[in-house]
Structure 1
């Protein structure tokens, strides 16, 4: 990270931060933007454009005159430079959709003011409790204001916190043209939660040199690597026969599918048994009938070699199952989804270093971490736009226990502003 005191000496005197991030966030989460993995359209759900249209209006209102949403639901905007230097063009990116894993309709946010510790019971469903023992990050939130849902839906902090933070940071920079920065691009994407977030992003229109997704968890965290990810589909062809005359003939594809899943490692190599840098094989869909079955898996690891090992684990489970069904057959297709963005970012160390310094200037302790998942930034990095992930403050995402701290969102706004100035200082 270098000599942070030297960086601090170079920081211009900023005006006091005034924030609109909370009011924006509370407005955005009430708009249902859940994406749909089974839809072939872009965006996968038309309702995502409802938030997109609102964001275009708000971006124009704060002074980003070219703000626009294209037919695919991507929102683009430009904040012109205030510096006479030639500064790399930065892009700040967040996604508008919410996860299909939990309802995002009718979100009713609540604010727990001046949190003093302990469990948070959600009023719409008292059985839903954010337990301090299960959410250790709450221990760092004493005295802060916590936004949750009422317990009947997810919150949408993943990633509407990031969206609100970017908009508020742009508002602050427009209001203070004395703060020197280069050209800044804003990109809000649909369908990130279903792996299509940048499928139709127009990078020529964006014309950025480096980017940052604002879509991370704990305050102060900068993430410079993701899982590498593949999808695997196993198709089983069984042998059908009349059940009354099936002895020695029938090979039930439903039972073969069950045997395959049962053959997977039980104490390792699954999401529920791994952490840190351990990868996994995860079945997430089964369609089965007597004569045929389709099993869907995701394979995850931080290295390409580890990813190949996960495919081998799956294929061994399949072959072992089929030993007892000699007249049945299988096909296994593995499809690349995304790769560890560190492969790109390690060639551009200043991108991560500047993010770490921006976190420091925002008054937080910088933490470099890895993502047990993926982001739009992973795909963007391999599309030629190096893009680490910066915290947004979201926690327990994809669930009814999702929460975010107001103070963490405000710290993310400050981090974005400092990032813009650091790149200008270095130019």
Structure 2
């Protein structure tokens, strides 16, 4: 599998399906067919439209496309994406609300590098922007990074986080979503030991595998079942000639997509068939619920092979964070060194990716932190996606996180809007949870 030919073969299959869809849609849309409107022709056009869009969106990075933010001055303020720090494997970006004074709350969202782009946190960003200045780690697609940029593993990821936190200063509140939670905890501990003045004020860990063995899931079972040799042989490929990262070893996004769609194959197949029927009946739209969800869900990115393999080996198999034996550049990181940063964990009662118990384990590792700076919360009915987006996040978790930030800010924050008044966020969770590939 570790050859460019395998990578190019997958891209060829994707390209062929997109072409077949476009061909079917175009042929079935000939005006002459309107003289004898056959249901089969309409279904062919609908199948082609859905198929073309499905396979074409797999290689497109979604836009942030953030709506304007209503200000206290009665005006809508446009949101622009600005790059604060530019690095080969990921940038630190800021969502600048035009014409608005700097907010007292400053939040850094640590996005996962787990197959999807940082835009997976779009609704999270939208929900926080009215109340804070928001920054996000925008990880790059490994296929676009030249081999000359070098490797990128869990230690490099941790050092990126350290640099990003230093850049933003100590009046910062960090929220890590899912996969980066253990490495964000390690980065905070590293700052506590080496540069205490650069520590954030608060650290919120949402649904992350701090201790994967605390509660078994399909993800943790898979991590224990396969060997590192099997993973490298079956999952790792070299980027093909079409991209700037030609020759780089990656865990391809298309292969990841195949893996986590197979976990809910019946659900996805039903959703696609229903969309074909909706298109044929003329009830579908470009921005309906199906397209809004799958435009993001199907947009996948390649992961650096070193990062994927070291995550499985060191976080899931070796339990280096869970057992407080993680090292960065030869230096042992002691999570017990965190003494001033307030830490909160958030878990979903129905999370099938990072089950309850995995994330709250972080509090036991913070042996140097007073109990009054520790907090935890379980949202009983929330799945993995619901704890950082959708109704569960908006109604229950978001207010608690902001209250936690305010309680440890040391000053009175800017007045916060009621979550119910944020019309920019949908009332319902956007469908099946994206599964994080381990």
TM-score by length of 2: 0.26
Q: Which structure: larger Rg?
A: 1
Taking structure 1 as the reference length, the TM-score comes to 0.27
Greater helix share, 1 or 2? 2
Which has the larger strand fraction? 1
* Larger RCO, structure (CA 8 Å, separation 6 or more): 1
